[in-house]
């Protein structure tokens, strides 16, 4: 079973992860490893596989699929 405290911290990490992805440069999205570094910078320690799991749980695509290309010209 998941404790309330653990569930709360999971939710807060998911929210911070979603915020980082929402605010990222869409032409150069953050990889899971980059997201780990950003989370550690704000005091949230977790592994890349954890970021990947939370990102998938939030229905957020990997960085290669989030990239927005600019038209040439």
pLDDT digits (tens, 9 = 90+) for 9-47: 899 999 999 999 999 999 999 999 999 999 999 998 899
Residues 59 and 57: their CA atoms lie apart, in Å, by 5
pTM: 0.85
pLDDT in tens, 40-66: 999 988 999 999 999 999 999 999 999
The H-or-E segment that residue 22 falls in is helix 4-22
Residues 7 and 29: their CA atoms lie apart, in Å, by 27
């Amino acid at each position: 079973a998941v404790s309330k405290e653990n569930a709360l911290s999971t939710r807060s990490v998911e929210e911070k992860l979603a915020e980082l992805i929402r605010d990222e440069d869409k032409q150069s999205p953050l990889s899971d490893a980059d997201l780990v570094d950003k989370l550690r910078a704000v005091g949230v320690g977790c592994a890349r596989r954890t970021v990947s799991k939370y990102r998938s749980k939030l229905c957020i695509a990997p960085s290669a699929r989030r990239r927005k290309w600019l038209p040439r010209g």
